[in-house]
Structure 1
Amino acid sequence: MANQFQKAMRLMRSNDAQAQEDGFHQLRPHVVQHLDELIIEFNRETAHGLRCWLLELIGEARAEQALPVLIDQLHGDDESLRFWAVRGIERLDTKQARRELYQARTTGLIP
């Protein structure tokens, strides 16, 4: 499984757009198994587009463990990352997740 993750990440970092898409879609069905690795990669990644994709995958895990990363990006300055954070928090749909979204809407952080 670790090799599968590493291979998908190599593809996502490729200069070939189709390879990038292939890597993303290889990881998509396995986000729960690779959540720790996805969070690590998200935190060290500098390429904006790849960070967006990684955050999207983190949100798709629908795991409590992802909530701190999603909340951090919800309150960040990057609107693209905020968009994926909101989507991930909505997918999680726990009491704490709903509370975070409510507070963000109440304060005008998100519409």
Structure 2
Amino acid sequence: MDSRFRAAMRLMRKRDPQLAEDGFGTLLPHTALYADDLIAEFEAERDDRGLRRWLLELIAESRAPQALPIFVRELSSEDESLRDWAADGLRNLDTKEAREALYRAKANGQL
């Protein structure tokens, strides 16, 4: 985890909405580079629902194959935003496994 990533995460946790947006904006163009770090942050974060949503959005943008289990799990989240970002992540992956997960979620009424 490099200093740019750590600094952006600190900003994303700020109460000042503009600073938080700045942190998100710093990471957005580099999601593929930071995919593993974003996944680790997402898995560790339990309290801040907004931050979890942002992290999953960034992970979805990364198109990281290692995020497949997270996307599948979050399809059944009680949080509609997490479900939506998980579905976007699966669409972005566009693998056979991702398409099957989306199909199952639609068949089960999760989407």
Q: What is the TM-score of this pair, normalised by structure 2? A: 0.94
1:4 aligns with 2:43: no
3-state SS of 1:75 partner: coil
Per the TM alignment, residue 76 of structure 1 is displaced from its structure 2 partner at its CA by 2.0
3-state SS of 1:15 partner: coil
Aligned-partner residue type, residue 83 of structure 1: D
1:16 aligns with 2:29: no
Aligned-partner residue type, residue 50 of structure 1: L
Q: How many corresponding residue pairs?
A: 110
In the alignment, what sits opposite 2:37? 37
Per the TM alignment, residue 10 of structure 1 is displaced from its structure 2 partner at its CA by 0.5
Segments of structure 1 that go 5 or more residues without pairing to the other structure are none
Which deviates further from its counterpart, 28-37 or 47-56? 28-37
In the alignment, what sits opposite 1:64? 65
* CA-based RMSD: 1.1
Q: Distance in 2 between matches of 1:49 and 1:63?
A: 21
In the alignment, what sits opposite 1:102? 103
Q: Distance in 1 between matches of 2:17 and 2:109?
A: 36
Q: Runs of 4+ in structure 1 displaced over 4 angstroms?
A: none
Q: What is the identity percentage for the equivalent residue pairs of Structure 1 and Structure 2? A: 53
Q: Distance in 1 between matches of 2:54 and 2:103?
A: 25
